[in-house]
Structure 1
């Protein structure tokens, strides 16, 4: 699907994408693969060249944020410290982008790594090692996505239920605030009370809720998006009242959400996608305001539903009536402030 780029001069900071080489991982999973695995198999390797091709495909992307995805871990390191390898690798990608040979975009200008917060206070040692690995390191994500039905998430994700409520996890979570680090939360719509509890327990900790809280449209939730919308909206409004929480507007093209419920790269126009996503995006913006909301690509995972250029066109269709100040916040300003990237805005 190819479209003319809408508002091509609007500056964008893409605050959520991955880098990986998943070929060995994918070969370990039997057929038929879970829908998520089928989606990421579209991009079994997604490194500098693939990312650069997407962010320079027409929209004015000035910088990006790398989001941890369990890739490029350090071989031979302990289980606790192997995560440092991912940040080391991405820092090299960021340095390659910053050398100027590849244009003005600053890819991976901020890096979000991973540390196992169930280590409790010992997680602080991992956070310190991650900080030492790159001056671009800003914080971590520790995903908590869980559902009782294994068909919802499949084998790539098997987090324990109630993770954000766990006392040991919260002991480790407190280490973030001591170091001024951010936290990205990924969990599913039925779990949103867990992140609400976490945000209330740590009101000074910056938290970003990924993927609009991940409404579900697969497995036992297939066909129930409309039925569950009011419950999702109620939880989003409650979380939006926590001033320490921001939200990422995206992730809806993932196979989990089922918007669209077929892929890969469904070939739908940005008009169709915008109409599909409008209730979720507008609810989030209303709940959090433009100053705590940021559009994201979630690439290459959202490649399941849309090409990079069509994805951003869909977002721009959703903000046609927004003011210039609101657009500046939603597309770059909120991300720059949350992840300490204000230098990109001039």
Structure 2
């Protein structure tokens, strides 16, 4: 058994469980902008999205399938854990199995193609509290048994910053968790099962991820949202240029680990400070491409298209952009790449990493 308790749920100052970040219904605002679809025939795997129902925000199969029909050729998607539908009964460690059961049900609906061609949740990334150490094998095996055709790995959000408001995850994450002995004992259970690890961290934690990747070279690691760059947030904005250089330097080193891949997206989340969620009218794809492009292009330069993949990160990113617009922005950013490179970025890398038969 692990030498300490598993991760605690984040608490409010009064001791009650912290509620997930609630996104306002901005559908009327997003509807103010409609664009013609760029390159509508290009096959796409949306490498990262969520399905959930939270107070004031429902984003389940009908909402996602409607987005996939907005004009882009979305053929499949990867569902990534988001704290949805945990089991309420049984051991705490096993409660996360409920989310994989839920996602697999959504995937079965998608596989029927009764509502469209997109294979929703063709790949499923669940979660597991790896600080349970080797005992977490019980949950991993149960998740594989539940969704053997689709279950591909786990994500445990480990982002931490010295500025408390940025620690807005579902768990109280301590600093240095990626090096924790119990965490690594749990992490060691992934490779033998053919499972990957999605890493959601902040930019200053990238060196910790590099250390983890080198310690476990046979485990695929997928860096979420280009590494959680905080250079435009309140804490880091005064040193934006220095922070960006810190991010670039850390990414260069991380790219030397061949088992690491990068998801290009996630910059529409309001707390990252780009400000597109605060505009009177939504920004168009050309404006978004100008703002986000240099960061994505740097990732592609370091890792190569064969290790990068575009992601919608919906619904969190719809705080700033509509689904059809975000994919237009990605296509603008990728315009200068060759056809083979575009295919990697929009389809082939995700298909390879998550072993999707699309």
State the TM-score, normalizing by the size of structure 1: 0.90
**1:339 is aligned to 2:357:** no
Deviation at 1:223, TM superposition (A): 5.3
For 2:205, the equivalent position in structure 1 comes to: 191
Q: In structure 1, the residue corresponding to 2:172 is in which secondary structure?
A: coil
Runs of 4+ in 1 over 6 A off after TM superposition: none
Deviation at 1:266, TM superposition (A): 6.0
Q: Give RMSD over aligned pairs.
A: 1.5
The structure 1 residue matched to 2:142, chosen from 129, 133, 139, is 129
- Native 8 Å contact 1:11 1:332 kept in 2: yes
For 1:229, the equivalent position in structure 2 comes to: 244
The structure 2 residue matched to 1:244, chosen from 259, 273, 279, is 259
What are the Cα deviations for residues 276-327 of structure 1, in whole angstroms up to 9, with x where unaligned? 0111101000110000000000100011111111101011001111111001
Deviation at 1:148, TM superposition (A): 1.5
> What is the alpha-carbon distance in structure 2 between the residues aligned to residue 215 and residue 318 of structure 1?
18
Q: In structure 2, the residue corresponding to 1:219 is in which secondary structure?
A: coil
> What is the alpha-carbon distance in structure 1 between the residues aligned to residue 83 and residue 297 of structure 2?
31
For 1:119, the equivalent position in structure 2 comes to: 132
- Native 8 Å contact 2:48 2:312 kept in 1: yes
Q: In structure 2, the residue corresponding to 1:2 is in which secondary structure?
A: coil
What are the Cα deviations for residues 193-217 of structure 1, in whole angstroms up to 9, with x where unaligned? 1111101111111000000001112
Mean alpha-carbon deviation: is it higher for 12-21 or for 69-78? 69-78
For 1:49, the equivalent position in structure 2 comes to: 62
> What is the alpha-carbon distance in structure 1 between the residues aligned to residue 51 and residue 122 of structure 2?
13
**1:75 is aligned to 2:88:** yes
Deviation at 1:224, TM superposition (A): 4.3
Counterpart mapping for 1:174-213 below 5 A: 174-213=188-227
What are the Cα deviations for residues 87-136 of structure 1, in whole angstroms up to 9, with x where unaligned? 00111111111112112110000100001110111011110011111121
**5+ residue gaps in structure 2?**
1-32
- Native 8 Å contact 2:157 2:169 kept in 1: no
- Native 8 Å contact 1:266 1:306 kept in 2: no
> What is the alpha-carbon distance in structure 2 between the residues aligned to residue 157 and residue 119 of structure 1?
14
**1:13 is aligned to 2:26:** no
> What is the alpha-carbon distance in structure 1 between the residues aligned to residue 135 and residue 307 of structure 2?
31
Counterpart mapping for 1:1-346 below 5 A: 1-23=33-55, 44-135=57-148, 136-154=150-168, 156=170, 158-216=172-230, 217-222=232-237, 224-260=239-275, 262-263=277-278, 267-341=282-356, 343-344=357-358
> What is the alpha-carbon distance in structure 1 between the residues aligned to residue 247 and residue 91 of structure 2?
39
**5+ residue gaps in structure 1?**
24-40
> What is the alpha-carbon distance in structure 1 between the residues aligned to residue 296 and residue 39 of structure 2?
19
Query: CA distance change for structure 1 residues 248 and 155 in 2, over 3 Å: closer, same or farther?
Result: closer
> What is the alpha-carbon distance in structure 2 between the residues aligned to residue 266 and residue 302 of structure 1?
16
Q: In structure 1, the residue corresponding to 2:272 is in which secondary structure?
A: coil
Mean alpha-carbon deviation: is it higher for 179-188 or for 147-156? 147-156
> What is the alpha-carbon distance in structure 1 between the residues aligned to residue 103 and residue 89 of structure 2?
19
What are the Cα deviations for residues 31-70 of structure 1, in whole angstroms up to 9, with x where unaligned? xxxxxxxxxx6xx111011111111111000000000011
Deviation at 1:261, TM superposition (A): 5.3
> What is the alpha-carbon distance in structure 1 between the residues aligned to residue 194 and residue 47 of structure 2?
18
Mean alpha-carbon deviation: is it higher for 249-258 or for 307-316? 249-258
> What is the alpha-carbon distance in structure 2 between the residues aligned to residue 223 and residue 259 of structure 1?
14
State the TM-score, normalizing by the size of structure 2: 0.87
> What is the alpha-carbon distance in structure 2 between the residues aligned to residue 263 and residue 207 of structure 1?
33
> What is the alpha-carbon distance in structure 2 between the residues aligned to residue 318 and residue 274 of structure 1?
6
> What is the alpha-carbon distance in structure 2 between the residues aligned to residue 100 and residue 253 of structure 1?
29
Deviation at 1:170, TM superposition (A): 0.5
> What is the alpha-carbon distance in structure 2 between the residues aligned to residue 221 and residue 49 of structure 1?
38
- Native 8 Å contact 2:286 2:329 kept in 1: yes
Q: In structure 2, the residue corresponding to 1:220 is in which secondary structure?
A: coil
Number of equivalenced pairs: 324
> What is the alpha-carbon distance in structure 1 between the residues aligned to residue 319 and residue 182 of structure 2?
36
